[in-house]
Structure 1
Amino acid sequence: MLLRNNKLVEKSSHGTFRVPWLTLFFAGMVIGIYALGKNAFNIFVFDRSAIANGEFWRVFTGHIVHYNFDHLFWDVLAFIILGAVVELNDRRQLGPSFLISSLGVSFWLYYYEPMIVTYCGLSGALNGLLVTASMILWNKTESRMYLFVMLSTIGKICYEFSTNQTVFVTMSSQPVPVSHLVGFISGLICFFLLRKKFNVIE
């Protein structure tokens, strides 16, 4: 800690190696749940009828289970990258961003997509986390590259809507591109709410 203007401030950790422990812990938990097999999947998956019968935990846990290894691999890889960016630049935004994006997707699917009976995977929430990571880095560096990343993500979502196919992942079930769009919008809303509350971007 340093004394500056009669206030204690944290010394810069620039140049030191930091580990995104929260991100790695959560990624490990997701992998562990997948390793538990079908029984764990059935307990945690977003299931419309089960939620209607009071199993409300599924609106969140549905995002941490996966249909197959390919689905798991790409989701966890993206989460580690995006989660690390957010955690190492502003840890306070990691949990709220992921939680709000997850619940935003579940809320939309439950109330506005009645044909979707089951849903699982991190990808919807990851689109929200991508917004948070991109906006944090853009505000810090003023590099237009991060705005390009967000525009590219919008393009990817449009592609998924037009082709009804996902990018990267081979799915054994019907893809749900609307979850990516809702996650993206939720992440954008969450970032600006947190920015105003925490005043983390100068």
Structure 2
Amino acid sequence: MPLLSRSLFLSFIVISLIGILAQLPSLHDLLEWDRQAIMAGQWWRILTGNVTHTNWTHLAMNLAGLIILVFLFRFNLTACRLATILTILGCIVGLSMFLTELGKYAGLSGILHGLFIWGACLDIRQHRSGGKLLLGAGLVKIGWDLSTGGSVETAALIQASIAVEAHLAGALGGFVLACAFNKVQSHESFNEV
């Protein structure tokens, strides 16, 4: 059995290519989450801001995190489910940025926190060892981010402050998606009986 299904691996490649293309200056300026541009009617930025990054190091860190999470939660992921989760979490994170003072936002980390919490919750439901530990670690990480403002070292690497609000929004979105997923799974199981 391969480490990742072909469809999940191809999904990761597509997401990586989108992230790389979004780093091109002309596209980056068109896709970045920008409060004023969104308020002027450029609504796509709510979602596309998540695929832009402050620099190449930021993109590499986020893609490394994504491949680790896809591998970690591969038993609950299909290419379609991954695309759906990333899109919904992207909208949640993008919309939540209006609750902050930020004028601009870039990065996938809010979505990654959501995917992490989603996967940990599903692992708990499926009685996988380590699910509770993962969820606890995720909650501690988010609490630490909120209390400290995030890692100073990471902020230096990405040349921007850490948008800890995006981490919280993503995590809350991941929890809601896990609950919805559990409800759908329970409903499908009930209908099979």
Helix, strand or coil at the partner of 2:43 = coil
Q: Is residue 65 of structure 2 the alignment partner of residue 58 of structure 1?
A: no
Aligned to 2:145: 160
Sequence identity (%): 22
Q: Which has the higher helix share?
A: 2
Q: How many angstroms apart in 1 are the aligned matches of 2:14 and 2:41?
A: 29
CA shift for structure 1 position 199: 4.2
Q: How many angstroms apart in 2 are the aligned matches of 1:97 and 1:116?
A: 24
Q: Is residue 45 of structure 2 the alignment partner of residue 81 of structure 1?
A: no
- Map 1:1-202 → 2, pairs under 5 A: 15=1, 18-19=5-6, 20=8, 21-34=10-23, 36=24, 38-91=25-78, 92-110=80-98, 112-113=99-100, 115-143=101-129, 145-166=130-151, 169=154, 170-199=157-186
CA shift for structure 1 position 197: 2.0
User: Structure 1 pair 58/180, CA: closer, same or farther in 2 (3 Å)?
Assistant: same
Q: Does the 8 Å contact 1:74/1:168 carry over to 2?
A: no
The code of the aligned residue for 1:130 comes to: F
CA shift for structure 1 position 200: 9.2
CA shift for structure 1 position 159: 1.7
CA shift for structure 1 position 102: 1.4
Name structure 2 gaps, 5 residues minimum.
Answer: none
Q: How many angstroms apart in 2 are the aligned matches of 1:82 and 1:60?
A: 20
Comparing 182-191 and 84-93, the one that deviates more: 84-93
Comparing 23-32 and 61-70, the one that deviates more: 23-32
CA shift for structure 1 position 189: 0.2
CA shift for structure 1 position 61: 0.4
TM-score, structure 1 as length reference: 0.80
TM-score, structure 2 as length reference: 0.83
The code of the aligned residue for 1:161 comes to: L
CA shift for structure 1 position 173: 1.9
Say which one has the larger Rg.
1
CA shift for structure 1 position 85: 4.2
Number of residue equivalences:
183
CA shift for structure 1 position 24: 2.6
Aligned to 1:10: none
Name structure 1 gaps, 5 residues minimum.
Answer: 1-14
CA shift for structure 1 position 60: 0.4
User: Structure 1 pair 174/107, CA: closer, same or farther in 2 (3 Å)?
Assistant: same
User: RMSD of aligned C-alpha atoms?
Assistant: 2.3
